[in-house]
């Protein structure tokens, strides 16, 4: 599919998920209630031990705990890319405190609505949610001390543009902690060509080496993989795309789907140049 169709597929799937609770997402066969083939909660981590965790905002859609590794301090401005129902934003708010600011960005209207409703219930006046595309983030340059994102950049067609935007919105000496899905080896073509598997964070993933290279080419320094975990797709999901012999071949191929949490910094001698990005 072309870029516009991929983005529309993602918006539709996550719009469906936004209408359900985490329990409904996990108990349905797909995470979206219509018995599709992809379990969107298959990568999710347990947030229960984190300060600021709000169960109503957790739809089980992440693949890591980026806020746990993000070195957020009191008074920081934190931007969460692909903020969903607000889960990581509310954890970040507990860390940055009332003197800080948290901005969530999401391109699915239903998620923005759900996140704003959650913030209103919690009475947070320093947590804001904006509708926007990660390839053109609606935030001014040099705004954020910290950027976080949880299992979202794999859904962005132009990952190089996304990291350039992250570089633009970070203050000099600012940093990011991003959890995402990457590959080691090549997925079967049937999986790569499936739009739904793209929305499920699998076929939109790129090689781990390429992912880290894009970060370095975008100008970041001190890039570190903070956590890495091998992901195993259940056979019942694979069976919708591969024959039984193909499933066995895939399992024995050495191809790995990984959840990684990556940290990197924007150099402190970098100044944003007007005309270098949106806003």
- Write down the pTM of the prediction: 0.83
Q: What is the pLDDT of residues 49-101, one digit of tens each?
A: 899 999 989 888 888 999 999 999 999 999 999 999 999 999 999 999 999 99
pLDDT category of residue 112 using cuts at 50, 70 and 90? very high
Chain-centroid distance, C-alpha 223:
18
Across residues 213-220, what is the average pLDDT?
96
Altogether, the residues listed in the chain come to a count of: 279
**pLDDT of 210 higher than 60:** yes
- Contacts of residue 209, defined as CB under 8 A and 6 or more positions apart, other chains included, come to none
pLDDT at 185: 85
Fold of 3-261: Rossmann fold (3.40.50)
The pair of structure tokens assigned to 192 is 């790569």
Q: Are strands 221-231 and 170-184 parallel, antiparallel or unpaired?
A: unpaired
Higher-pLDDT residue of 31, 125: 125
Residue (of 21, 25, 22, 6) closest to 133 by Cα position = 6
> If you average pLDDT over every residue of the chain, what do you get?
84
Whole-number CA gyration radius for the chain: 18
- pLDDT > 70: percent of the chain: 83
Under 8 Å between Cβ of 128 and 102: yes
């Amino acid at each position: 599919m072309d870029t516009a169709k991929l983005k529309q597929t993602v918006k539709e799937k996550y719009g469906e998920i936004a209408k359900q609770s985490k329990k409904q997402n996990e108990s349905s066969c797909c995470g979206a209630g219509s018995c599709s083939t992809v379990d969107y909660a298959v990568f999710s981590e347990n947030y229960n031990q984190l300060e600021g965790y709000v169960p109503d905002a957790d739809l089980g859609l992440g693949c890591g705990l980026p806020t746990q590794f993000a070195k957020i301090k009191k008074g920081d401005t934190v931007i969460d890319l692909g903020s969903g129902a607000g889960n990581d934003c509310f954890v970040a708010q507990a860390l940055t405190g009332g003197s800080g600011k948290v901005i969530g960005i999401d391109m699915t209207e239903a998620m923005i609505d759900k996140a704003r409703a959650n913030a209103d219930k919690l009475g947070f006046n320093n947590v804001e949610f904006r509708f926007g595309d990660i390839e053109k983030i609606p935030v001014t340059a040099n705004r954020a001390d910290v950027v976080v994102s949880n299992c979202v950049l794999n859904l962005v067609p132009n990952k190089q543009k996304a990291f350039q935007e992250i570089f633009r919105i970070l203050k000099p000496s600012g940093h990011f902690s991003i959890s995402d899905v990457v590959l080691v080896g090549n997925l079967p073509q049937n999986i790569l060509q499936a739009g739904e598997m793209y929305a499920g964070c699998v076929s939109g993933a790129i090689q781990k080496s390429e992912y880290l290279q894009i970060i370095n080419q975008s100008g970041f320094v001190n890039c570190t993989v903070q956590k890495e975990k091998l992901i195993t797709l259940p056979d019942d999901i694979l069976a919708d795309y591969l024959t039984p012999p193909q499933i066995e071949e895939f399992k024995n191929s050495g191809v790995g789907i990984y959840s990684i949490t990556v940290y990197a910094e924007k150099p402190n001698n970098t100044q944003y140049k007007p005309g270098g990005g949106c806003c």
